[in-house]
Amino acid sequence: MPNPASKQISYAGTFERSMDAKNRVTIPASWLNGGPDEFHAIPHPGGDFLIVMPPEEFDSVETSIKQSGIPSDMQRKAIRQFYSQARAVGADSNGRILLPEEQCTALKLEGEVVLVGGRSRFEIWNAKRWAKVSAEESASYLKVAGMIGL
C-alpha cells in the first residue's frame, strides 16, 4: 500500500548494481528517502529494459491512453496489455526490490544491471545492453542539448 506521506521523487542518475540470486536489486537511497517504497515493474514494449514506476505514475497510464485520441478498441487492448504485464514490487528494509522471475528471464536481467533515472520513473537494464544503448544515444543527446542551449 502506498505511503500516504510519500512525496514525488525525481529519479536521476545512473547506478550500477548486482542482482543477487533471488533477483533482488538495491535501489539508491535517494530514490527511496521520503518517497514511495512500492512500485510497479513493466517490461518496456520493445523488450529492452524494465520500467519501474511509483504508484502515481503507474496510475496515470490509463488516463494517458484514454486521452490519447487513439480509437477505443486500441485503447482497451493497450490498457489490457500494459496492466497484464505489470507486477507489484516493494522495497524491503534494506532498500532492495525483488524483480519478478519471468521479467528477468525475458529481459536477460541477471548479475550486473544498471538503474537509469527517468525523472518520474526509472529503468533497469542489462549492463551490457545499457552500455551499447547509452553509447548509441550519446550523439542524439548532444544534438538536443545544443538545440535547447544546455
Tens of pLDDT, residue by residue, the chain (150 residues): 445 545 568 899 999 999 999 999 999 999 988 778 899 999 999 999 999 999 999 999 999 999 999 999 999 999 999 999 999 999 999 999 999 999 999 999 999 999 999 999 999 999 999 999 999 988 888 889 899 898
pTM: 0.88
- Structurally, at CATH architecture level, domain 30-148 sits in 3-Layer(aba) Sandwich (3.40)
Listed residue (47, 43, 50) closest to 25, CA to CA: 50
Q: Tell me, what's the pLDDT at 7?
A: 58
Q: Whole-angstrom Cα distance, residue 141 to residue 135? A: 10
Q: Tell me, what's the pLDDT at 34?
A: 76
